[in-house]
Structure 1
Amino acid sequence: MPSGQQAQGGKMFGILKAQQEERLASVNKEFLEDQKYKDEENLAENLESFKKKYVEFDLNDQGDIDLMSLKQMLEKLGVPKTHLEVKKMIAEATGGSSETISYRNFVIMMLGKRSTVLRLIMMFEGKGDGNGSKPTRPPAKRDISSLP
């Protein structure tokens, strides 16, 4: 690709990213102003964290998390799922109304009281051993005599 086209493509990508950032910030503002969530602890920080995670999951930068993006991210997190399992996760997150997860659906799922499988995975992914690292392997095998 000639450099002029590369510059044009880079400029377009920047514009699309800025538009996506505006859309996500607008949804966050709606949640911050919603009386239903006024008692939610650390809401602003949580919404910012959700936004970063959502952008990470939106692999095709289309504004929604589709089946393949979710499947790839779950594999990266070390929790591979079948297509059917991923479809069920999307249906849980959207109430069955869509085949993709919008940011609004994502935030509702993360703030919701129901423990969807995807929410549990996301919460685990955000936790580590206290110093920012996640477990890299399963716990060591133990025999019955070592149990308390």
Structure 2
Amino acid sequence: KAQQEERLEGINKQFLDDPKYSNDEDLPSKLEAFKVKYMEFDLNGNGDIDIMSLKRMLEKLGVPKTHLELKRLIREVSSGSEETFSYSDFLRMMLGKRSAILRMILMYEEKNKEHKRPTGPPAKKAISELP
């Protein structure tokens, strides 16, 4: 885990030094959050997220996908291989201007965590308050 974190930290440093991302607001904290998220789903610790890790990740987020949909997601994100995508690919997707399906799913998960669901029965309304 420590080696993996060190390797991902090195990639974060490359992105911080890249002039292409210099205008990105609050880049260091975004990169740190992305690193934590990536490490959570890189289950085998080899640095790449494979199709099974992606499948488990999306199931955990409540968005199960078929094998073909997973392959399409990986193909959209990865720079080469159809079986895995690297941390660099992941960062390019998350920081890029292009709208990727996976990025939307991950952002939806974050938004979903922020809101607390109301507990208990709903408040009573008078008939005059109904639409």
TM-score (normalised: structure 1): 0.74
Whether 2:85 is the aligned partner of 1:104: answer no
Cα separation, 1, equivalents of 2:65 and 2:3 = 31
| Structure 1 match to 2:70 | 86
| Structure 2 match to 1:128 | 112
| Structure 2 match to 1:68 | 52
Residue identity matched to 1:64: D
CA RMSD of superposed structures (Å) = 1.6
What do the CA deviations read for 1:39-84 (whole angstroms, capped 9, x no partner)?
1001000000000000011112221100000001100100000010
| Structure 1 match to 2:16 | 32
Whether 2:38 is the aligned partner of 1:54: answer yes
What do the CA deviations read for 1:94-128 (whole angstroms, capped 9, x no partner)?
14x11211000000000011111111101111113
| Displacement of 1:129 | 6.5
- Residues 38 and 75 (structure 1), Cα distance of their counterparts in 2 relative to 1, 3 Å cut: same
Cα separation, 1, equivalents of 2:87 and 2:36 = 11
Cα separation, 2, equivalents of 1:19 and 1:61 = 9
Higher relative contact order (CA 8 A, sep 6+): 2
Query: What is the number of residues matched between the two proteins?
Result: 117
Cα separation, 2, equivalents of 1:30 and 1:119 = 21
